[in-house]
Structures are given as structure tokens and as C-alpha cells.
Amino acid sequence: MRDAVRIQIDSKASGDLLRSLHGWLSGEPEWRGRVDLVEGPSREETLGGWLEALTVVVAPGGLAVGLVSAVVAWARSQSVGEVVCKLSRPDGSAVEVSAPVARSLRGPDEVRALVEDLSRQLGDARPGPQAPAGE
């Protein structure tokens, strides 16, 4: 069985940040072809839809760990701003990844601990992965 994790970004530049995260995830073989941009309904002040979220197709039993790890790595790469990513599943479980918190982590052990904690909260019981790339 497969379901999707929805990723929303709380920022004034959410559309650009969603495109950036989409490119980051799509560049990873594990997520290629599983990530879609979600447009919101047209707004009065815009000509078309606006980017509302990403959806990432995952399978039960472990892929959420890899997704959380990838989002934490992306958040660590965001050098400015108070970027907050919310990952939510159809069952209502949700976590937030804050770029300032992710950037403040010191070393792979702290990164791994955050990824494991967020993955558990998101409903993924599998033990955590290695630290995200770049550690």
C-alpha cells in the first residue's frame, strides 16, 4: 500500500522554496518520479494557480525516514530565513522541520537524532538512517 506525504512551507517565498525542494528531492533516485507540485486554487490577484504544496508518494515501512532525512538536509542548506516545512500524512500525523533548527545541529549524531525523532512522529517505526549527505 502506498500513500503520500504532503509538504507545505510556511514562508512568504513558499512557491520558490517549494520549487527548490521539488528539485532537491527529484534529484535523488529514491524520490525521482514520486514528487509532485500541488497548485492551489486561483486567487483574485493572480492570473493562475499558485504553488500550495508538494506531495511525495511513499510506501509504508521506512521511506518516511528517507524523506525526513532529505527534507532536513534541504532545510540545512537554506542559508537565510525562518523556513518551516510541515510534512503531513493522510492519517493526520505531522511534523515540522525548521531551517534554523536544522542549521543549528552540530554533527551527524544530532542530525540523526532529529531525523529519527521526526520520523517516529510521522509514523515511521523503522530505525533511523545514516546522517543526510554532506555530513
The residue extents of the domains of the chain are 3-121
Task: Name which residue leads in pLDDT, 37 or 10.
Answer: 37
Domain 3-121 has CATH 3.30.70: yes
**pLDDT tens-digit readout, 56-108:** 988 766 567 889 999 999 999 987 778 899 999 888 889 999 999 999 999 99
> Is 77 within 8 Å of 132 (Cβ atoms)?
no
Whose CA is closest to 24, among 2, 40, 9, 42? 9
CB atoms within 10 A of CB 66: 19
Residue 124 has pLDDT above 90, yes or no: no
Task: Name which residue leads in pLDDT, 31 or 42.
Answer: 31
> Is 122 within 8 Å of 95 (Cβ atoms)?
yes
What is the reported pLDDT for 70? 93
- Cα dihedral: 97, 99, 104, 107 (round 10): 70
> Is 87 within 8 Å of 108 (Cβ atoms)?
no
Task: Say what angle helices 63-77 and 14-26 make with each other, to 10 degrees.
Answer: 130
